[in-house]
Structure 1
Amino acid sequence: MENTYTYSPLDRVIWDTPATEAILNEINRLGVEKVFIVSSSTISNKTDEILKIKNTLGSKFVGLFDSCIPHSPLENVIDCANSVQQNNPDIIITIGGGTPIDTVKVVQLCHSLGITTIEGLKKISNKHQKKASKIRQIAIPTTLSGGEYSIIGGAMDTKKQLKERYTGNDICPQVVILDPKLTLHTPDWLWLSTAIRSVDHAIEGLCSSSTNPLIPPMALNSLQLFARSLRDTYNDREDIFARSLSQKAVWMIAKNLGNTSMGASHGIGYLLGSIGSVPHG
């Protein structure tokens, strides 16, 4: 419908706050008792961040899936969904880039619709699901691709080498936590390349023919922040203020996903990722 702006069911964004502090506050606010963690293997195996979160959760921690594979192959999504089903948590904490966040979006659909097989997943690809999620996620992004703000997830059919689209009314995270210090673990090439993905979103928003009054100014402001922060991060990767500005630039533009049409670059990105294992960006 024209002249309509749709907000995703994201409760809140918390910025410039240590992840463990924000997690504890949100777990108490939401009143959940069982928490499952999904993370990238790098964050889990090469840093102590997952251990910190587990210690913060204490007895509320019920399980971990840290075997996410880039581009979220359907087989990997089902493995994660089965692990979530076995542990029956109240909420999922997702930490990492677009891969674990997308994986959990599709896992939410599996959990809510009782899907346990790849064949079952294929039946709902490219078909929007309206059923309310039985479980939500708290996302702690470590890259700048911006998928944490949308109700769109992607998972790859490895036989076809094609990334399939999965959408649902509320599969976006319930809470997003932006901890710029945590992103110091992200390799520079990944941080900067995923930023280009969000720069692309901002340019598409700025150049869009949409009459939406929010998108052009937010896109321009996002580009202005990126123009400063990405140069500063490139020159000094320890610049936490610059990292924070980049995260806010993503927030400004990524929340508009779905409210403006995407250009050819978006479709090309999906194909390159599936066929050539090219990272987002």
Structure 2
Amino acid sequence: MANRMILNETSYFGKGAIENVAPEFKKRGFKKAVVVTDKDLIEFKVVARVTDLLEKEGVNYELYDGIVPNPTIENVKEGVEFVKNCEADCIIAIGGGSPIDTAKAIGIIVTNSEFSDVISLEGVADTKNPCLPIFAIPTTSGTAAEVTINYVITDEENKRKFVCVDPHDIPIVAFVDSDLMMGMPKSLAAATGMDAMTHAIEGYITKGAWEMTDMMHIKAIEIVGRSLRDSVNGDQKAREEMALGQYIAGMGFSNVGLGLVHGMAHPLSAWYDIPHGVACASLLPTIMKYNKDYTDEKYRDIAIVLGVEGAIDMSLEDARDAACEAIDQLSKDVGIPATISELGVKEEDLPQIAEDAFNDVCTPGNPRDTTVEEIIALYKSLI
């Protein structure tokens, strides 16, 4: 079987990366952009750091700031109409996963109008045309939406999130500028950072993993493991490392998929509007333990790059336990909630939530096959 790799065309990394936005816009001959973002990033002057550069260089743009934390079908439809009315020929997405995911859906529908209901984009949609070109500027260190072919939309009516996978939606240019990430509060840095760790670990052990993605994921685990604590405490060098680590994880999992952590996290966000990173982070240590006997030597690799003393000489069972304990400790150290009841999850909802998790597109990638009953038990263990 052939393995496929899809990566975005160009990326800029490091302090000052956003200074390349206007030159890239002009070089590519674009005439008008829509800046897609959210109101909080405008309020905290993050967006202005980009738009000031656009204005200085005479870039024509309009601002769409209607993005919500778990973007909805209606959110996408509203954005599509905005972009069409502006007659823009590209999108500049500024933010975490929500603005960039929404920009992907908007961009796909603008050039593939037969998917205007949004819901038909679920799974692997048969789109014919590349999306409206997207420049992606992440402001968090976690989702890697700037380098993936995936995006997630919330179906509010049916209380579920659906994942869309489409090579046509990948941003053409990413600007990974750690300066824009310095304003993250501790809680957001922790949640998005643990989301990046989840991407790296799930991508490393997923059924579709292979050598090229393995090298990306194990390096991402190493970078996130050594940097996340200091990043949460506001250290600029650590935040720059986290920006790189989450991007490397995205390069991998975008091409091989994820697993049960994401499968179980998506319905928690859909039912209770829990931020995606928080949902993933609260589940990761428990699901790692659930999967440990189905991962060959990979948990030993994880323990080694996380700096567990003696991991290389441990028995396989002890190495697996050490990897789980290291991630559990990291989660505690950065303040991730230990139970999902703290996030508002109700035990009476678990049977339906577990059905949604079982049917999530990420779940089949898990190294251990599961059942609805086992998923319910996993949720209950975290109540």
Q: Same fold, TM exceeding 0.5?
A: yes
Instruction: Find the partner of 1:51 among 48, 52, 77.
Output: 48
Per-residue Cα deviation, 1:68-123 (whole angstroms, up to 9, x for no partner): 01211111111111111111112111110011011011101220122696xx2223
Aligned equivalents of 1:37, 1:19: Cα separation in 2: 17
1:152 aligns with 2:160: no
Per-residue Cα deviation, 1:223-276 (whole angstroms, up to 9, x for no partner): 1111221121233x1x22111111111111111124324221111111111111
Q: Runs of 5+ in structure 2 lacking a partner?
A: 278-383
Instruction: Give the aligned partner of residue 173 of structure 2.
Output: 175
Aligned equivalents of 1:57, 1:198: Cα separation in 2: 30
1:249 aligns with 2:245: yes
Q: How many residues align?
A: 274
Q: What is the alpha-carbon root mean square deviation over aligned residues?
A: 1.9
Q: Which protein is richer in strand relative to its size?
A: 1
The one of the two structures with greater contact order (alpha-carbon pairs below 8 A, sep at least 6) is 1
Cα pair distance change 1:230/1:248, threshold 3 Å = same
Name segments (4+ residues, structure 1) moved above 3 Å.
Answer: 208-211
Instruction: Give the aligned partner of residue 77 of structure 2.
Output: 78
Aligned equivalents of 2:119, 2:49: Cα separation in 1: 36
Instruction: Give the aligned partner of residue 328 of structure 2.
Output: none
Instruction: Give the aligned partner of residue 280 of structure 1.
Output: 276
Cα pair distance change 1:12/1:250, threshold 3 Å = same
Instruction: Find the partner of 1:204 among 202, 205, 216.
Output: 202
Give the letter for the 1:128 counterpart. Answer: A
Cα pair distance change 1:23/1:11, threshold 3 Å = same
CA contact (8 A) 1:203 1:219 kept: yes
Aligned equivalents of 2:97, 2:172: Cα separation in 1: 16
Instruction: Give the aligned partner of residue 211 of structure 2.
Output: 213
Deviation at 1:146, TM superposition (A): 1.5
Please show how residues 26-175 of structure 1 align to structure 2 within 5 Å: 26-47=24-45, 49-58=46-55, 59-114=58-113, 120-143=117-140, 144-175=142-173
So what's the TM-score if we normalise by structure 1?
0.90
Aligned equivalents of 1:37, 1:115: Cα separation in 2: 24
Aligned equivalents of 2:225, 2:120: Cα separation in 1: 42
Deviation at 1:205, TM superposition (A): 2.8
Deviation at 1:180, TM superposition (A): 0.5
Aligned equivalents of 1:97, 1:224: Cα separation in 2: 22
Identity rate of aligned residues, in percent?
A: 24
Cα pair distance change 1:208/1:94, threshold 3 Å = same
CA contact (8 A) 2:189 2:231 kept: no
Per-residue Cα deviation, 1:173-226 (whole angstroms, up to 9, x for no partner): 111111101112222211211111121121123334556211222222111111
Aligned equivalents of 1:111, 1:87: Cα separation in 2: 12
SS at match of 1:265: helix
Deviation at 1:57, TM superposition (A): 2.0
Give the letter for the 1:197 counterpart. Answer: D
Instruction: Find the partner of 1:267 among 263, 270, 292.
Output: 263
So what's the TM-score if we normalise by structure 2?
0.67
Deviation at 1:134, TM superposition (A): 4.8
CA contact (8 A) 2:33 2:90 kept: yes
Per-residue Cα deviation, 1:4-62 (whole angstroms, up to 9, x for no partner): 13213x11110014254121221132121212101121111221x33343332234323
SS at match of 1:60: coil
